[in-house]
Chain A
Amino acid sequence: DAGVTQSPTHLIKTRGQQVTLRCSPKSGHDTVSWYQQALGQGPQFIFQYYEEEERQRGNFPDRFSGHQFPNYSSELNVNALLLGDSALYLCASSLHRDRGRHWGNTEAFFGQGTRLTVV
């Protein structure tokens, strides 16, 4: 059973360029979340996709956008890259459950991350 897979693992881009990161969720999962982890910090939530729509968004500018495909895989796009966008980008997959039900341990499974360096 494949876990969460992300591609590429490493990426170097120049300021002002655009980048696309990809994520395939764990089998059976339908929700994908993206996180940015700067060096020495905890991950920060970027956004979450479910049913091909952005359902929740963290405090990130519109330069950060995403997409979810019918097979539940997802892309993270970042436009007009800044030096400060250099970070480890983590994708997490989970199974959506309605708030009204007891959802127990719906832990998020993370991929190995994409390390983006902006020069």
Chain B
Amino acid sequence: AQKITQTQPGMFVQEKEAVTLDCTYDTSDPSYGLFWYKQPSSGEMIFLIYQGSYDQQNATEGRYSLNFQKARKSANLVISASQLGDSAMYFCAMREVNQAGTALIFGKGTTLSVSS
């Protein structure tokens, strides 16, 4: 069963507008972490923001915020005031912690295109 679902293959936004990238997850573990990464065409995965399952407040990092709705198992990324440099692939990931390790499980990603 897919544990991370990103239903938007592509999103288009104008410069300076806000955009929301959707992510839903599935886990039975009460302790987990949710991540968003940006992957430009160069290939490197750039960490953007993290939300722990026990965190009371939604995470924010500059122009990035995470809209965490635990009951709905969603962790949407909100990018405010989009910039041309935000054009990239965005991945939502979940970290499950088991006895052995802490692998990240990724969604299929959303391609964001920002136009001027």
Contacts and interface: CB of A to CB of B under 8 A. Distances in A.
Nearest to B6: A42
B103 A112 contact: no
A107 interface: yes
B18 interface: no
Contacts, number: 73
A53 B103 CA distance: 15
B47 A109 contact: yes
Contacts of B47: 107-110
Interface footprint category on B? 20 to 34
Interface stretch (B71-79, B80-88, B93-101): B93-101
B50 to A, nearest CB: 5
Contact of A56 (B4, B35, B98): B98
Interface footprint category on A? 20 to 34
B9 to A, nearest CB: 9
Interface string A13-34: 0000000000000000001010
15 contacts: A42-B107, A42-B108, A43-B104, A45-B104, A48-B100, A56-B98, A58-B103, A90-B45, A92-B104, A94-B102, A103-B97, A105-B50, A108-B47, A108-B104, A112-B43
Interface of B: 4, 31, 33, 35, 37, 42-47, 50, 52, 91, 93, 97-109
